[in-house]
Amino acid sequence: MMATPKLVHYHAPQTRSFAVRWLFEELGSPPHELKVLNMKKGEHKTPEFLAINPLGKLPTVTHDGVPVTEVGAIAIHLADLFPDAQLAPPLGDPARGTYLRWIIFNHGAVEPAVADRWRKIESSMPSAMSYGTYDGMVSTLVGALGSGPYILGERFSAADVVVGSSVRWLTLFKLLPETPEFTSYLERLTSRPAFKSALAKDEELVRALAS
């Protein structure tokens, strides 16, 4: 039997780290330590934290002291670690290809396309860009989410936490258009009890850090 993993989640509210907080809720809150870093005080750039994640970025998770960074990698790792929650298709299941595809698409296409758009950089060489064009990325994502209700159809998975978290932030910041597909997908995700619980905890944290 596997020993209980010692998990530490280095977190700051209202960042990409929210996805990991939400995922822990979806997993049924398995034992883990939450270490909140106050970014305004630069606690994510201390030598101690940079030794764990040299980029000084959140989220970061350690599993028995081994760092895992990048929202997608953390989500894949945690969903596999707690298979009873059934948030990841197992190895060999064809749905695992779809699941991995959209988690990686979030990092390899959505994030860079949006970063370029935000900085007003036009994709002058779509064939050499990981995302092609911004419009192509958006229509591909709409296609992935449009049939729903979730990325894997009827089955909610950790891919929805990763992609849904991005779609939520990016539509809020107007970096993704508010298409009917994104809107109804977000309505489904944000009405989930685990999402609401994670959001309430993060809002409480924002208040605590402000006081």
Report the interface residues with ligand GSH, using CB under 6 A: 15-16, 44, 56-59, 69-71
Block residue for tokens 């850090």:
209
Nearer residue to ligand GSH within complex by CB, 69 or 133: 69
Distance CA 13, CA 203 (A): 8
Instruction: State in angstroms the smallest separation of the CB of 65 from ligand GSH.
Output: 19
| Alpha helices, DSSP H, located in the chain | 18-26, 47-52, 71-81, 94-105, 111-118, 134-146, 158-172, 180-190, 193-210
Instruction: State in angstroms the smallest separation of the CB of 23 from ligand GSH.
Output: 12
The CA distances from residue 160 to 58, 70, 91, in Å, are: 19, 15, 18
Nearer residue to ligand GSH within complex by CB, 121 or 153: 121
Nearer residue to ligand GSH within complex by CB, 21 or 181: 21
Instruction: State in angstroms the smallest separation of the CB of 79 from ligand GSH.
Output: 16
Nearer residue to ligand GSH within complex by CB, 163 or 181: 163
Do strands 33-36 and 60-63 pair parallel, antiparallel, or not at all (unpaired)? unpaired
The CA distances from residue 169 to 17, 58, 111, 158, in Å, are: 12, 15, 11, 17
Distance CA 161, CA 159 (A): 5
Q: Can you give the length of the chain in residues?
A: 211
Instruction: State in angstroms the smallest separation of the CB of 204 from ligand GSH.
Output: 19
Nearer residue to ligand GSH within complex by CB, 16 or 185: 16
Instruction: State in angstroms the smallest separation of the CB of 180 from ligand GSH.
Output: 27
Nearer residue to ligand GSH within complex by CB, 56 or 148: 56
Instruction: State in angstroms the smallest separation of the CB of 60 from ligand GSH.
Output: 8
Q: Are 99 and 151 contacting, i.e. CB atoms less than 8 angstroms apart? A: yes
Q: Is the dihedral of CA 14, 202, 48, 27 positive or negative?
A: negative
